[in-house]
A and B are shown apart, each in its own frame.
Chain A
């Protein structure tokens, strides 16, 4: 029989192992998320990332080796971003009906989130790389990662910041908007989609169908707007 150490040293260098591990970790995360009644804090990506980080740490595997396998999953971010055009297309009639408030809220929400995150980060003296990684944090992950890359940020930091932003937004949205006394489901959903992308949108769909539809419009439009304005706003802070 072959020495297990040899089998391990072969497998740990091949893409197969880490591709499989990524899918299994996400599957476990998704099971956990369902078991917890789809609460925002039990985010499946967060669970998967923690599980994989622990496995890599325990086996002494570098991120580079891991990514050799995981790159096949990572690659799907591109076509998935293109696919985000579909919900936008399906909601075009809603966009036309409420064009003015949508545009106003989109610009206001998007500029607010980018300017305030950069102001606070600058105030605390965070580095330029961290600023560039923070700027697109309210945008959906595939787009945010692309934006961070082009701004000189660190895409892996952005991925986690995007995740945390979405989870935080999804958790506070309902009590916070109740506190502000906003009852219009369109306004509530749209603002959450702009500020907290897909995770916020998933939460909005749980609360109200209209809020969910407007959240997905907000997420889609903000992906485009952030790609345009984040470089301009970041420039003011550098």
Chain B
């Protein structure tokens, strides 16, 4: 577990350094994510080594955003006064994105065949 965690943290560290050093518009962990995909493609042994710990982390992914979620108590007033507008914006945009994404996939996949 410790080597795998150290490797994941190193990728994150690398991402943070790259993001700041090169002024990239991506958050450090996202650069780490991309670096991980590339590294695993080059060395599949790395993926085998990380797999158990990654499965553990991703299996409990939702736990990690509980602390941020609790922060909403500081903004309960905004949700009360702007709740309807936020609800409409969220629901309409999410439904639209599902429809557009699925339809475009279907259209392009048909052209492909």
Contacts and interface: CB of A to CB of B under 8 A. Distances in A.
A145 B65 contact: yes
Q: How large is the interface on B (under 10, 10 to 19, 20 to 34, 35 or more residues)?
A: 35 or more
Interface string A106-119: 10111011101100
> Which of B41, B95, B101 gathers the greatest number of chain A CB atoms within 10 Å?
B101
Contacts, number: 324
A212 interface: no
B94 to A, nearest CB: 5
Interface in B96-110: 96-109
B57 A102 contact: no
Given A89-B41, A160-B72, A176-B99, A105 B108 contact: yes
Given A224-B33, A224-B34, 15 more contacts: A73-B67, A78-B12, A80-B57, A81-B30, A108-B101, A117-B93, A120-B85, A146-B28, A154-B75, A168-B94, A177-B102, A187-B109, A194-B101, A199-B62, A227-B26
Interface of B: 5, 8-9, 11-12, 15, 25-30, 32-37, 40-41, 47, 50-51, 53-54, 57-58, 61-75, 78-79, 82, 85-86, 88-109, 111-112
